[in-house]
Amino acid sequence: MAASLPISTPFLAKRLGIDNPQSAMIFGGLVGSTSGVSAGLAATDPKLVPYGALTATFHTAMGCLLCPSILYFITHYFLP
């Protein structure tokens, strides 16, 4: 999916309504792939790249911070 994201974003941007910073931030948060979101938004409208990349980076960082903690507690629960 991540490989087709930069290619399909410019074609689907009008249909998805990605034409302002708020929609770019929502798009970046939903997708979560910083490189894919940045490339897709750069092909759509270069002014939207920082907004989409911001939330995609936040999405990735939260996953990197929370997943190890959650995995620790699940492992500790099942293997005391």
Contacts 24+ apart (CB under 8 A), 12-15: 13/40, 13/44, 13/45
pLDDT at 15: 94
Residue type, 10: P
- Domain layout of the chain by residue ranges: 5-78
Q: What is the pLDDT of residue 37?
A: 92
Give the pLDDT confidence score for residue 80 in this predicted structure: 78
In order of 9, 10, 23, 72, the CA distances from 17 in angstroms are 11, 11, 7, 40
Instruction: Tell me, yes or no, if the pTM score tops 0.75.
Output: yes
Using CA atoms, how far residue 25 sits from 42, 66, 76, 77, in Å, is 14, 21, 36, 36
Q: What are the mean pLDDT values of the chain's consecutive 10-residue runs (80 residues total)? A: 80 93 93 89 95 91 89 91
Q: What's the rounded Cα separation, in Å, for the pair 38 and 46?
A: 9
Residue-level pLDDT at 2: 58
**pLDDT for the residue 60:** 86
